[in-house]
Amino acid sequence: MLFQRPSDDTLYQALIDRDASYDGRAFVGVTSTGVFCRLTCPARKPKPENCRFHETAAACLEAGFRPCKRCRPLQHGMEPLVSDLVDRLNAEPGRRWSESDVAALGHDPSTVRRAFKRQLGVTFLELARLRRLQEGFTALEHGESVIEAQLTANYQSASGFRSAMAKLLGLAPGGFSDDAPLRAAPINTPLGPMVAVCDVHSLHLLEFIDRKALPSELKRLVTDTPGGLGCGRFTPHDQIEAELTRYFSGDTVTFRTPLTLHGGPFARKVWTALRQIPSGETRSYGGLAKALGCPTAARAVARANGQNQIAIVIPCHRVIGADGSLTGYGGGLHRKRALIALERDAAEKSP
């Protein structure tokens, strides 16, 4: 019989009771610490509002949580091959692994890929990348220097650490400014970690951390903003994080975090129209163009849609193809599908 995910209340009680029957079938991510655990973890129990339950360790990693060092959720019930490589990863979380490294250990890379996907839902190389980026970005966001962040991430090479961060953000850690007017900070969501860029007044960017366009978007922000970019938080970071928490919990949310839009007049017009699409509903590119009074501008609308750099708040995921297909989405079609389903469920529950 397939495992049917119980309610969060049931899983929280299992966490309190350290119920071994859920071991390996459910995990808890703790928002106050950024760590995820087995439900039998002996650590002090978090408050219910700080718990995010997931069915796999991979889902916890994708949501931005780090594995607990006490209960070691990545190791539980694993094949020896997987357990051995996870142990090696934990020993060197900053190492830049490659398939040749795996082969040098006497393992067939294709066998390793299948084993990790089967047990963790993510390949070993993907797992290594997630761990490395989480360690480095979290250290910087907590105010550590570049050297301190490098050591926290256990990178032996400063150039390797800068390269990894540059790939993620399009800006090496040395390019961050301590007194920058814009600050970047990670935000965990059930669909994976996001990065939010804010100034003291408003939100400038909100993207999933694996969006391919993220480095170029950040470069443009840095170019357009005197004083550059730093790591840290302002009040708008806390506001958008709280609103996203409510949104992903299934509430119908009106986002009130102030926005600063970076785009031309037509793009801003499209983005305004996107925010007027009711939650739980979708529109086609052509239909949106007609609503804007530009019935022949479907392609221009699509371009403006793709240029949006404030995901979810400016809901470009609500625009689909004329035939009902999901079409493209910078955050990935799996996320677009999940966001539409989440909003439809919330709309159906609303009075």
pLDDT tens for each residue of 104-140: 998 899 998 888 877 666 788 887 877 676 666 666 6
Let me know: does 189 contact 182? Beta carbons within 8 Å: no
CA distance 188 to 86: 23
- Between residues 256 and 134, which one has the greater pLDDT? 256
The pLDDT value given to residue 300:
92
List, in order, residues 6 or more apart from 344 with CB less than 8 Å away: 280
Which tens digits make up the pLDDT trace of 65-98?
778 888 888 765 567 788 788 888 777 776 778 8
HSE (side-chain half, CA atoms, 13 Å) at 288: 32
Is 58 strand, coil or helix? helix
Q: Which of 233, 103, 169 is nearest to 161 (CA)?
A: 169
245 pLDDT higher than 80 = yes
Which residue in the block uniquely carries the two structure tokens 């047990």?
A: 119
Residues serving a catalytic function are: 316
2 pLDDT higher than 50 = no
Tell me how far the alpha carbon of residue 27 is from its chain's centroid.
18
- Between residues 222 and 247, which one has the greater pLDDT? 247
pTM of the model as a whole:
0.60
Q: Is the dihedral of CA 211, 221, 232, 205 positive or negative?
A: negative
Let me know: does 176 contact 144? Beta carbons within 8 Å: no
234 pLDDT higher than 70 = yes
In the predicted model, what is the mean pLDDT of the chain? Answer: 82
- Between residues 59 and 166, which one has the greater pLDDT? 59
Q: pLDDT confidence of 277, banded at 50, 70, 90?
A: very high
Which residue in the block uniquely carries the two structure tokens 């084993």?
A: 115
The pLDDT value given to residue 226:
81
Is 69 strand, coil or helix? coil
Which residue in the block uniquely carries the two structure tokens 């009130």?
A: 256
- Domains of the chain listed by start with CATH number: 8-77 (3.40.10.10), 83-96+118-175 (no CATH), 180-351 (1.10.10.10)
- Between residues 309 and 63, which one has the greater pLDDT? 309
The pLDDT value given to residue 320:
87
CA distance 137 to 196: 12
Annotate 150-210 with DSSP letters as a single string.
HHHTT-S-HHHHHHHHHHHHSS-GGG--TT-SEEEEEE--TT--EEEEE-SS-EEEEEETT
Q: Which of 176, 109, 168, 184 is nearest to 145 (CA)?
A: 176
Which tens digits make up the pLDDT trace of 162-187?
666 666 666 666 666 767 899 888 78
Burial of residue 29 (CB within 10 Å: 0-12, 13-18, 19+) is buried
Helix axes 214-224, 158-169, angle to 10 degrees: 90
Is 327 strand, coil or helix? coil
Q: pLDDT confidence of 1, banded at 50, 70, 90?
A: very low
The pLDDT value given to residue 90:
74
CA distance 118 to 121: 6
Average pLDDT over residues 153-169: 63
Let me know: does 61 contact 94? Beta carbons within 8 Å: no
Name beta bridge partners: 66: 35
- Between residues 12 and 326, which one has the greater pLDDT? 12
List, in order, residues 6 or more apart from 273 with CB less than 8 Å away: 288, 291, 292
Which tens digits make up the pLDDT trace of 284-305?
999 999 999 998 888 899 999 9
Annotate 254-322 with DSSP letters as a single string.
---S-B---S-HHHHHHHHHHHTSPTT--EEHHHHHHHTT-TT-HHHHHHHHHH--BTTTS-GGGEE-T
